[in-house]
Homo-oligomer: A and B are copies of this chain.
Amino acid sequence: MDAVFRALADPTRRQLLDSLHARTGQTLNALCEHMDMTRQAVTKHLAILEEANLVTTMRRGREKEHYLNPVPINEIAERWIGKFERHRLSALSNLKQRLEREEP
> Closest approach, in angstroms, between the C-beta of A94 and any C-beta of chain B?
7
Tell me the dominant secondary structure on chain A's binding face.
helix
Which B residues are in CB contact (< 8 Å) with A68?
Answer: 84, 87, 91
Stoichiometry, copies per complex: 2
What are 30 A-B pairs at a CB distance below 8 A? A2-B11, A5-B8, A5-B9, A5-B11, A5-B14, A6-B9, A8-B9, A9-B9, A14-B80, A21-B84, A24-B91, A24-B94, A25-B98, A58-B102, A67-B98, A68-B84, A68-B87, A70-B84, A70-B85, A70-B87, A70-B88, A71-B88, A73-B84, A73-B85, A74-B81, A74-B85, A74-B88, A76-B81, A77-B77, A77-B81
